[in-house]
Amino acid sequence: MKKVVIYQSGTGFTAKYAGWIAEKLGCEAKEYKTVNPNELAGYDLVVYGGWIMGGMVVGYDKVKALNLKNGVVFGVGMTVPSDEVAGKIAEQNQISRERFFYFEGGYNPQKLGVVKKMMVNMVKKSLEKKADKTEDDLHTLETFKGADNTRKEAIEDLVAFCM
C-alpha cells in the first residue's frame, strides 16, 4: 500500500507529528508546498496534517478539493484535546469524524510574525479576564508563555486507523 503524510506547519509542531506518523506508517512525510498535488492521486492512503488557525485546519481546503479516495486528516492546535474539541473541529472543517484526529501542539511565539502574535494575544487577554478558570484554561495560559505539549503517544489511534 502506497502511503504518504503531507503537512503544513507554521512553527514546527505539526511537522513533528507528521514525522512521527510517517515513521510508524513506514512512509515519507512531505511539506505540502513541496508536493505536486496531481501526484497524490497515485497514493492508496494520504494523511494530511495542518495546524489550526481560528478553528480551521490550515491547507485542508486544497487537499479536500483533490477528492482523494482514501484520506485521513489530523489537526494540531493549542487547545487541550478532548472528543468534544475534535468533533467541533471536524464539523467546522467538514471532515468525517472517524477520519479526523486532533493533537495538542504548543506555542512558539519566537517563530510567529507580528500579526499572528497579536491575534493570539487577543485570545490570551480574554482568557486572562475569565472569572472561573478551568484546569484546561490554566494549562492554556501556561502554554501562552511558550510550550511544546506534543506527545508521541497521541498518534496511536490515527496509526491504528491507517493499518
Per rule CB under 6 A, count of chain residues that contact ligand FMN: 22
Output the smallest distance, CB 156 to ligand FMN, in A: 19
Residue 55 sits in the site that holds ligand FMN (CB under 6 A): yes
Q: Which is nearer to ligand FMN, 44 or 91 (CB)?
A: 91
Give per-residue burial for 110-139: e unless 16+ CB within 10 Å, then b: eeeeeeeeeeeeeebeeeeeeeeeeeeeeb
Exposed e or buried b for every residue in 19-35, given b needs 16+ CB within 10 A? ebbbebbebebbebeee
Rounded CA separation 15/49 (Å):
8
In whole angstroms, the minimum distance from the beta carbon of 120 to ligand FMN comes to 5
19 or 99: CB nearest ligand FMN: 19
Binding string, 79-108, against ligand FMN, x = CB under 6 A?
x-------------------------xxx-
- Check: CB of residue 49 under 8 Å from CB of residue 71: no
User: Interface residues with ligand FMN (CB under 6 A)?
Assistant: 9-14, 51-55, 76-79, 105-107, 112, 116, 119-120
